[in-house]
Every structure is written in structure tokens, then in C-alpha cells.
Amino acid sequence: MPLHTIYRPENLEGLVGNESTVESLTSVLNREHDVPHSFLFTGPAGTGKTTCAHILKNELNCAKSDFYIYNTANTRGIDTIREIIDNSHFMPMAGDVKLIVLEECHGLTGPAQESLLVILEQPPEHVYFALCTTEPEKLKPTIKRRCHSYELKLFSLPQVKKFLKGILEKEEVKNFSEEAITKIADVCNGSPGKALNLLDTIIDIGDNDLALKTIEDATVSEANIAEIARILLSGRGQWKDIATKIKGLTGEAESLRYAFLGYFQAVLLNKGTSDIAEVLMIFCDPVMYSGKPGLTTEIFFAYKALLK
């Protein structure tokens, strides 16, 4: 099994980092009465939002058959919420409760969010919700007010290194390159999930140079995204140069779009100009169905919007 599956913590004691979230969740779940039925986990990708939902499953004594996960980036309409509401009326099959997890819940349409609000306000006693999102600002304020909210934060560089060394010790891997650990910590941008995936990619590679090369190859798309964004922001780049970089992008198109979205959001927060806001709006349109052609189109429109 992949490392992120093997070492997904089963309880709050095993959740490393984010001590304030652990402390707060522990306090809430230890209540004798009035345990909330709706939890909202926010934070950058790979910080443990879905892990918290799995821990919640165990803490609430929810059986596997009563644990439902919906990726609302793909099933984002009102029909999904209607299905959830219909399902919630039935009692759990095996455990004490049902837990419904909505990953990337910011992807829900406006009507779907309105429909979700109804059941969040008055959930059945046996139904709990865990909403996970990297973009909480896209959720209706009324939904956020109905949830107990927890923000998962990125790790510091020393925390990432300590985390990786702990995994290597558990795996009984000896003489693992300190240079490789540092390289992973440098490129994972504080995401323990990404760090673990990169470690899983190279853990069985004995050749240090090959391991470092593998890490570099795995992060080529991220470097290309940053380079494309820099060319776009210059307003003077040539489309043929951008097209060459686009050809080097690998991975799922929707994930790549999120990376562009995060990049330009940071620029907007720093500069606050209307042209950046326009570009940000361009990358707000999902490309889950159009794939890389759709993403290429969005990059082209951003290029035109920033052309000087």
C-alpha cells in the first residue's frame, strides 16, 4: 500500500502538526452533550483535511458501511445533495452514526449549497457532516456559520524533515540520503501529503543521484506552472514560449488549474489590480470535463488579458 495509506493516523493523537486543531477537536468530541454535527476543514492541499474526516469517522464510531465520501468537484449539482438528504433519512447500517464527507465542497453550485444548508440546519441525530475545502471563501457564509471550523496549516521546513525521518524510521530504512530528505522538504512547500508522496516515489531507489532526479521530474509541472505564470505576468512574453511550457505540464488538468488559481490569488492579494482579478476569474472555471484543452484555453485567455 502507498505510504499515505499506511500512515494515515487513526486518531487525533496520531495527527502530527496543527496542535491547536487537535486540541480543539479533542475538546469538542469529548463533550457529553451537544457534539456538533457539521465540521468544516480548510487549508492548502495535502495538509490533512480528509485525514481529519477519517479520524472523525473513528471518533464517532462510524462503520465503514456508513461512511460516505463525495468529491463535489465532480458531483457538484443539486441532485447530489438531494441524494444525500434522501440517504440521511435511513438509519446507519452497522455503526451508531452516518458520516458524510464532502471533499472540495466549494465546488458545489449555488443551488446545491442552498439545499445543503437545509440539512446542516436540522440534521438527523444519527447524521454528521465533514466538509473539506481549499477555498472556503467560495462557500456561502450561512454554511460556514453552521459548521465548527478548523484550519489546517502547512508544515515548516524542520517539521517536514522530522515528519519524513519518522516515516523512514518506521519503515526501517537506513542510510537514507539527508540530501534527498532536504530536497523533498524544499519542493513540497510545507505539504505533508506531498512530502509523503514524493518519499513514496523514491524510497526504494538506492542511487542517490537517481532519487534526486526523480524528485526533480515529479516537480517539473510545478516549475512550469510558475514559469508560465511569470511569463503571463510580464505581459510581454510570446505565446510560442508559453505553449512550449504547456506541453511540459503533466498531471490532472483540474489539479493544474487549482495551482494556477492559487498562484494568481497570491499575486492579487499582493498587488490588488483589476487585470489580475480578471485572470483569477478566468481560472475559476472548472476544466474537469474539457481537460488539458480547456486548461490551455484558459491560459490563452489569461495571456490575452495580460498582454501589454
Tell me if residue 1 falls in helix, strand or coil. Answer: coil
Look at residue 151 and tell me whether its pLDDT is greater than 90: yes
Q: What is the pLDDT of residues 249-306, one digit of tens each?
A: 876 787 788 778 878 887 887 777 888 999 999 998 888 788 899 999 999 999 999 9
User: In which band, very low, low, confident or very high, does the pLDDT at 220 lie, cut at 50, 70 and 90?
Assistant: low
Q: Grid coordinates standing for 190?
A: 510545507
Q: Does domain 157-218 have CATH number 1.10.8?
A: yes
Q: Grid coordinates standing for 197?
A: 508522496
Q: Grid coordinates standing for 213?
A: 532526479
User: In which band, very low, low, confident or very high, does the pLDDT at 9 lie, cut at 50, 70 and 90?
Assistant: confident
pTM of the predicted model as reported, rounded to 2 decimal places: 0.71
Residue with cell 440534521: 123
pLDDT of the residue at 41: 96
* Domain extents in the chain: 3-151, 157-218, 220-306
State the CATH class of domain 3-151: alpha beta
Tell me if residue 197 falls in helix, strand or coil. Answer: helix
**Ramachandran area for residue 62 (φ above 0: left; ψ -120 to 50: alpha; else beta):** beta
Cα distances (angstroms) measured from residue 180 to each of 42, 127, 159, 166, 278: 30, 45, 15, 15, 40
Q: Grid coordinates standing for 154?
A: 502547512
Nearest Cα residue to 279 out of 298, 252, 258, 255: 298
Strand 98-103 to strand 67-71: parallel, antiparallel, or no bridges (unpaired)?
A: parallel
